[in-house]
């Protein structure tokens, strides 16, 4: 008896912005991820994130302020802004299922009269829709790799609405990097996710699974408040502190939300919903103590997608990682 092999049904579908892997599996995009209510459950269950945004919002929003919330999700930050005294909150959310949850939450809290939920992507919405000038724009579209959820284009398009000159939450973001030697257990685990995020606090991994070969260094530090950059590039050099082989680059971020509220997904920080971004190099290279490694990172947020390109090199080795899937 012959067994027929089923054709991969995905090949008959039109191309999507999801990443199709060589085995035919369609990887979810950031957009798919946030269409799932359980992803939002992780966000609102993260006490560290919720408390720090609450503090920053109560510190920033003054009674009578008009607030834009770009990427409202379940409405949690809009509710905070309304409770802090905002006279009006315009809350944009592109995912309709999640927007329904937000509407339900606002109704339950008796704040529907203050919050106007606007379905759709904020970047496609005409400024005439908002009749009031915003005093505060907030957007928790910070990804594990800081920029991969579109915060640059979200905030810069938000600022164009009615010629914005108010306050942003977050006001700045810095990406931090370290070159690392990844052990076999972690290497396999990361390769199996087809995606570069990993929870380094997981008890599955031990200290040998991730050896830091350099001190962490900032790269792409953006003052969101004072510029509208959506394309950025920076090259840094890192001093190797111990002999080893570099087969990965670890990324996390520090974001300043208000004058004394900062949030980070540093590998040793609180147990939070963000993980760390760990990019695996296509070919590893040996390094000695005191070698200089250069890393050039380019990020381009073109409103529809966020693309990145990383060049890393040492002595005569150089390799490139481009548009790795990050959730
Ligand atoms: C990380 S979640 C944050 C949700 C909520 N603000 C919170 O703090 O829990 C980001 C949300 O923003 C939405 N989103 C991202 N960019 C958007 C845009 N430009 N316009 C409308 N919604 C957007 C996504 O669908 C997702 O629900």
Residue of 69, 115, 141, 265 to mutate, ligand 1, most atoms within 8 A of C-beta: 141
Q: Which CATH number fits domain 3-140: 3.20.20.150, 3.40.50.970, 3.40.50.150, 3.40.50.10490?
A: 3.40.50.150
Q: Cβ neighbours of residue 106 under 8 Å, at least 6 residues apart?
A: 75, 78, 79, 82, 112, 115, 117
**Ligand 1 pocket at CB < 6 A:** 34, 43-44, 70-74, 76-77, 92-95, 98, 121-123, 140-141, 150, 154
Residue nearest to atom 12 of ligand 1 (CA): 71
Residue nearest to atom 11 of ligand 1 (CA): 71
pLDDT tens by residue, 167-192: 999 999 999 999 999 998 888 888 77
Residue of 39, 43, 47, 71 to mutate, ligand 1, most atoms within 8 A of C-beta: 71
Asked whether 255 and 225 are in contact (CB, 8 A), the reply is no
Q: Which residues pair with 280 in a beta bridge?
A: 248
Specify the domain boundaries for CATH 2.70.160.11 within the chain.
172-326
Q: Which atom of ligand 1 is nearest to the CA of 69?
A: 6
Tell me the pLDDT of the chain averaged across its residues. 88
- Torsion over CA: 255, 258, 259, 262 (sign): negative
**Residue 132: is its pLDDT beyond 90?**
no
Which of 65-69, 200-204, 265-269 has the highest mean predicted lDDT (pLDDT)?
65-69
Asked whether 128 and 134 are in contact (CB, 8 A), the reply is no
The CA distance from 219 to 239, in Å, is 14
Separation of 252 CA from ligand 1 center, angstroms? 20
Residue 24 confidence (pLDDT): 53
Which percentage of the chain shows pLDDT scores above 70? 90
Separation of 179 CA from ligand 1 center, angstroms? 31
Q: Which atom of ligand 1 is nearest to the CA of 44?
A: 9
Q: Cα–chain-centroid distance for residue 4?
A: 43
Separation of 110 CA from ligand 1 center, angstroms? 22
Separation of 181 CA from ligand 1 center, angstroms? 34
Separation of 154 CA from ligand 1 center, angstroms? 10
Per CATH, which fold does 172-326 belong to? 2.70.160
Residue nearest to atom 1 of ligand 1 (CA): 141
Q: Which atom of ligand 1 is nearest to the CA of 49?
A: 8
Residue of 73, 122, 275 to mutate, ligand 1, most atoms within 8 A of C-beta: 73
Q: Cβ neighbours of residue 207 under 8 Å, at least 6 residues apart?
A: none
Separation of 151 CA from ligand 1 center, angstroms? 10
Place of tokens 């008896």: 1
Residue 17 confidence (pLDDT): 46
- Measured CA distances, 90 to 133, 138, 164, 203 (Å): 11, 10, 14, 41
98 or 268: which leads in pLDDT: 98
Specify the domain boundaries for CATH 3.40.50.150 within the chain.
3-140
pLDDT tens by residue, 275-326: 889 999 988 999 999 999 999 999 999 888 899 999 999 988 899 998 887 8
pLDDT tens by residue, 202-250: 877 777 889 999 999 999 999 999 888 899 999 999 999 999 999 999 9
Residue 25 confidence (pLDDT): 54
């Amino acid at each position: 008896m012959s067994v027929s092999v089923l054709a991969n049904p995905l090949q008959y579908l039109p191309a999507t912005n999801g990443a199709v892997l060589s085995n035919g599996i369609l990887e979810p995009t950031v957009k798919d991820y946030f269409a799932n209510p359980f992803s939002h459950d992780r966000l609102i269950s993260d006490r560290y994130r919720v408390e720090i945004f609450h503090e920053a919002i109560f510190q920033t929003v003054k009674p009578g302020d008009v607030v834009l919330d770009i990427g409202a999700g379940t409405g949690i930050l809009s509710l905070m802004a309304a409770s802090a005294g905002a006279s009006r909150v315009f809350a944009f959310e592109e995912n309709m299922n999640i927007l329904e949850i937000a509407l339900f939450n606002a109704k339950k809290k008796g704040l529907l009269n203050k919050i106007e939920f606007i379905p759709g992507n904020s970047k496609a919405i005409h400024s005439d829709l908002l009749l009031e000038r915003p005093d505060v724009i907030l957007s928790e579209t910070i990804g594990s790799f800081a920029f991969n959820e579109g915060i640059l284009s979200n905030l810069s398009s938000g600022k164009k609405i009615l010629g914005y000159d108010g306050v942003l939450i977050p006001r700045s973001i810095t990406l931090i990097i370290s070159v690392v030697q990844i052990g076999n257990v972690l290497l396999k685990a990361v390769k199996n996710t087809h995606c570069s995020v990993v929870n380094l606090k997981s008890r599955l991994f031990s200290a040998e699974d991730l050896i830091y070969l350099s001190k962490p260094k900032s790269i792409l530090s953006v003052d969101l408040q004072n510029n509208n950059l959506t394309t950025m590039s920076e090259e840094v050099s890192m001093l190797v502190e111990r002999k080893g082989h570099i087969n990965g680059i670890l990324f996390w971020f520090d974001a300043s939300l208000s004058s004394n509220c900062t949030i980070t997904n540093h590998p040793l920080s609180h147990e939070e919903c963000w993980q760390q971004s760990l990019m695996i190099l296509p070919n590893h290279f040996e390094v000695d103590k005191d070698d200089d490694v250069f890393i050039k990172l380019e990020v381009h947020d073109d409103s529809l997608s966020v693309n990145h390109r990383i060049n890393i090199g040492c002595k005569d080795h150089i390799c490139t990682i481009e548009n790795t899937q990050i959730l």
